[in-house]
Structure 1
């Protein structure tokens, strides 16, 4: 059943490519417009590049979160999940994993091209990819909790208010890892902190999201 849920999410994304690629287009536009606005100052672009790319990735994840559980609430899938013998937490974790593959994996693939636009070296671009691979799952897990807590509410301002403060640690550690790679300093401590954030989010967020979904359906 878990593989069926994962395959269903991918099939829906293929049927609606505009929804799946909207976050990617937003990510590319936001990160690509900054060099045009700032000018050809190479040192300044290298300095702000990690922060701009990470903030663009955070916002791209944020604009896709409202589609995480709302379609399933509208068509009755969430009620069916409560009736299945599978734990709701496992189903939620599978849906979060599928959402990361759809919404965040393209961002990680495109990130090295944007790194070249900011004049980052090959090592810094590789560090950016590694940091995004560790940080974006954390952002999606936190976002899933926010989406579950605000399920059924009109507007998405409350979702942003919940998710953005909790997204600060992976944002800070991800930018610090890339900056350390640019300066030739060891980035392993920052990557370890990103891994710790991911482990904590993977342990808590699926369980908390499942609990929030149960409350929303009662």
Structure 2
């Protein structure tokens, strides 16, 4: 099983690296959403610092949602996904490997870039570590939840709106605790509580979401 996980992980990483333009597009979208917000408002510096956590998380949420279509769609089109479903290998393990690569090429980048973009708003540098931790814990959960929606809407034409309606309500707890951890770090309060909640949601997602995605893929391919 470990060799299967490594093989799928390696394949997905190679495919992702061949599509560097797509990856750059998602990162640029995320950076533009964050960077252009101050230009579109006349808010003072105190207000920008106050809204920075919510803005970062909304930008991450939208960027992850924009990238969900390529989690399973290419494999669905070329028939690879059907071979995964029909094969004897555990489909949940394959799903976990694909989700891990998707996070490495999207969520991990957002976790590294996002906190430094908030410095443009005047956010204190002491909050950068907590911001990176909250994004590192929260973005994998967003990817796993989004993978469930992407699997359920895989065979539907123009499923983008339906996918958004499915996953947005499930993203709310991650958004609340992620922004809460950032807000606590900015004002100098302990952020351990929200970070523990994000870690608990991530643990629940890693253990349960791959099985849900595997079941959804089988339903979509029937």
Query: Same fold judged by TM-score > 0.5?
Result: yes
CA offsets, 1:26-77, max 9 Å, x none? 1000000111122361101100001001100000000000111111111111
| Cα distance between partner residues in 1 of 2:153 and 2:86 | 22
| Cα distance between partner residues in 2 of 1:21 and 1:9 | 17
TM-score by length of 1: 0.96
Aligned CA RMSD, in angstroms, stands at 1.1
Counterpart contact for 1:21–1:103, Cα < 8 Å? no
Segments of structure 2 that go 5 or more residues without pairing to the other structure are: none
CA offsets, 1:122-143, max 9 Å, x none? 2212111110000000000000
- Classify the secondary structure of the residue corresponding to 1:167: helix
Counterpart contact for 2:138–2:202, Cα < 8 Å? yes
The structure 1 segments of at least 4 consecutive aligned residues displaced by more than 6 Å after TM superposition are none
- Classify the secondary structure of the residue corresponding to 2:68: helix
| Cα distance between partner residues in 2 of 1:127 and 1:33 | 23
Shift of 1:185: 0.8
User: 1:133 aligns to what?
Assistant: 136
| Cα distance between partner residues in 2 of 1:39 and 1:17 | 35
Within 5 Å, which residues of 2 pair with 1:150-161? 150-155=153-158, 156-161=160-165
| Cα distance between partner residues in 2 of 1:112 and 1:203 | 28
1:87 to 90, 93, 105: 90
User: 2:208 aligns to what?
Assistant: 204
Segments of structure 1 that go 5 or more residues without pairing to the other structure are: none
User: 2:188 aligns to what?
Assistant: 184
2:198 to 194, 197, 202: 194
CA offsets, 1:75-98, max 9 Å, x none? 111121124332100000110001
| Cα distance between partner residues in 2 of 1:57 and 1:98 | 17
Is residue 148 of structure 2 the alignment partner of residue 145 of structure 1?
Answer: yes
Within 5 Å, which residues of 2 pair with 1:8-157? 8-39=11-42, 41-155=44-158, 156-157=160-161
2:176 to 172, 193, 207: 172
- Classify the secondary structure of the residue corresponding to 1:39: coil
